[in-house]
Amino acid sequence: MQMINIEEFTNTAADYKVSTEKAYRQGIIGTNDRGFQITKETFQDILGDREYEISKRNDIECPYRYSTRIVGLTFYCITPFLLFADDKDKIKEEI
C-alpha cells in the first residue's frame, strides 16, 4: 500500500481551495467531463460573437443547456429559459 505524502497532499488541497475560490469569482461553478459549468451571466459575457449550441435537457426546472468552446475548452450553462430571442430555432438535440 502506497503512503500519501501528507505535505504534498495538504499543499494540493490548499491550492485546490484557492483555485476553486478564484474560479467561482470568475463565474465558473464547476467542472466535469462535459466541460466547465458557468453562470448564465458569465456565459453571456464571454460569448461575444462566438458560436454556441443549445440542447434541450430532460429537466423541467432547467431544460436548456448552452455551450460554447474557447481555445479548446467547453463552457456551458444550464438555464430555465432561453437566453436570446431567436434561440428556439437553434435547439440542436435532446440530452
- Is 49 a member of any domain? yes
Q: By three-state DSSP, how is residue 76 classified?
A: strand
C-alpha cell at 21: 475560490
* Any domain includes 60: yes
The answer, yes or no, to whether residue 11 has pLDDT greater than 90, is yes
- For residue 52, which phi and psi values (nearest 5 degrees)? -145, 160
Count of structural domains, the chain: 1
| 8 belongs to a structural domain | no
pLDDT digits (tens, 9 = 90+) for 29-87: 999 999 999 999 999 999 999 999 999 999 999 999 999 999 999 999 999 999 998 99
**Is 16 a domain residue?**
no
Q: Kindly state whether residue 61 falls inside one of the protein's structural domains.
A: yes
Whether residue 14 is contained in a domain is answered as no
Residue type, position 73, single letter: L
Domain extent for 68: 28-94
Q: If pLDDT is split at 50, 70 and 90, which confidence band does 2 have? A: confident
Residue 10 domain-assigned (yes or no)? no
Rounded to whole angstroms, how far apart are CA atoms 28 and 61?
20
The confidence score (pLDDT) of residue 23 equals: 97
- 40 lies in a domain? yes
Residue of 52, 49, 48 lying closest to 64 (CA atoms): 52
Single pTM value for the model: 0.86
Residue 11: helix, strand or coil by DSSP?
A: helix
